[in-house]
């Protein structure tokens, strides 16, 4: 993929598939050439979520596109729904759970990029090539 790609569709990038959902990173250094941030869509299946974790060297912004869930950031837990924006500073433990009946869709941004590559390298991550359905 070209380092100066400016328009990126979901079909243009691979899917990172986990037992809790799917991630599609549509802006990474490899996709768009951006070295200041990465951005992608996270889909959490109903009743699913991921364990608390940290990103020691990246801030994370999450924007709730659709659905509802529960978000932990540090020692605080809140219900989240479409339209909510969340900031997770680097090194702060956090986790997300879909508490609704439909998929929870989030726009995730890391600054600087890097955590998306760490996710890709996890043994439980299945990579589905660009253009194929997960």
Per-residue pLDDT reduced to its tens digit, 27-53: 999 999 999 999 999 999 999 998 899
Is 8 inside any structural domain?
Answer: no
Structure tokens at 82: 């479409």
Is 46 inside any structural domain?
Answer: yes
Q: What is the side-by-side order of every strand in the sheet holding 104-111?
A: 85-88, 59-66, 104-111, 38-44, 21-27, 15-18, 126-128
pLDDT per residue over 71-121, tens digit each? 999 999 999 999 999 999 999 999 999 999 999 999 999 999 999 999 999
Is 78 inside any structural domain?
Answer: yes
For residue 84, what are the CA distances in angstroms to 29, 67, 80, 93? 27, 11, 6, 19
Is 15 inside any structural domain?
Answer: no
Q: Of the candidates 117, 123, 24, 104, which has an alpha carbon nearest to the alpha carbon of residue 66? A: 104
Total domains in the chain come to: 1
Question: Which residue segment(s) compose the domain that 73 sits in?
Answer: 23-128
Is 70 inside any structural domain?
Answer: yes
Q: What is the side-by-side order of every strand in the sheet holding 68-73?
A: 49-53, 94-98, 68-73, 76-81
Q: Domain of 74: which CATH number?
A: 2.60.120.10
How high is the pLDDT of residue 4? 64
Is 104 inside any structural domain?
Answer: yes
How high is the pLDDT of residue 45? 97
Model's pTM, two decimal places? 0.93
How high is the pLDDT of residue 2? 46
How high is the pLDDT of residue 102? 97
How high is the pLDDT of residue 1? 44
Average pLDDT score over residue span 57-63: 98
């Amino acid at each position: 993929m070209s380092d100066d790609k400016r328009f990126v569709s979901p079909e243009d990038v691979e899917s990172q598939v986990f037992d809790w959902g799917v991630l599609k990173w549509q802006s990474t250094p490899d996709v768009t050439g951006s070295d200041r941030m990465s951005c992608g869509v996270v889909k959490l299946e109903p009743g699913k979520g991921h364990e608390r974790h940290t990103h020691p060297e990246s801030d994370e912004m999450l924007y709730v596109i659709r659905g509802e869930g529960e978000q932990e950031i540090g020692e605080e837990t809140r219900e989240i729904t479409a339209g909510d924006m969340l900031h997770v500073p680097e090194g702060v433990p956090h986790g997300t759970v879909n508490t609704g009946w439909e998929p929870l869709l989030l726009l995730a941004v890391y600054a600087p990029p890097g955590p998306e590559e760490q996710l890709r390298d996890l043994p439980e991550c299945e990579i589905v090539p660009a253009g194929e359905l997960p």
